[in-house]
C-alpha cells in the first residue's frame, strides 16, 4: 500500500494566471477601474509591438 493520496488543489486552479484589476490597482496605487482602463488600452499595443519585433531564426546560421 502506497502513501495516502490527498486531493489538494492550488488556490489558482481553474483561474487565469493574470493579476486582477484590483491587484494591479493596489500594486500601482490606482483604482481598479483605472487599472482596467489602462490594461484595455495597453495590451493590444504591447501585443502588436511583440509581434512586430519577433523574428524567426536564420536557417543559414549554425547554432
Structural domain boundaries enclosing 33:
21-53
Residue among 41, 51, 6 at smallest CA distance from 21: 41
Answer whether residue 11 is part of any domain: no
Answer whether residue 27 is part of any domain: yes
What is the chain's mean pLDDT, rounded? 77
Number of domains in the chain: 1
Answer whether residue 31 is part of any domain: yes
Answer whether residue 47 is part of any domain: yes
Answer whether residue 2 is part of any domain: no
pLDDT in the model for residue 49: 86
Whole-angstrom distance, CA of residue 21 vs CA of residue 39: 8
Of residues 4 and 48, more confidence is placed in 48
Is the model's pTM score more than 0.75?
Answer: no
Amino acid at each position: 500500500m502506497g502513501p495516502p493520496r490527498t486531493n489538494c488543489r492550488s488556490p489558482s486552479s481553474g483561474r487565469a494566471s493574470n493579476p486582477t484589476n484590483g491587484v494591479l490597482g493596489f500594486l500601482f496605487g490606482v483604482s481598479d477601474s483605472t487599472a482596467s482602463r489602462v490594461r484595455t488600452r495597453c495590451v493590444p499595443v504591447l501585443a502588436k509591438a511583440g509581434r512586430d519585433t519577433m523574428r524567426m531564426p536564420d536557417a543559414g546560421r549554425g547554432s
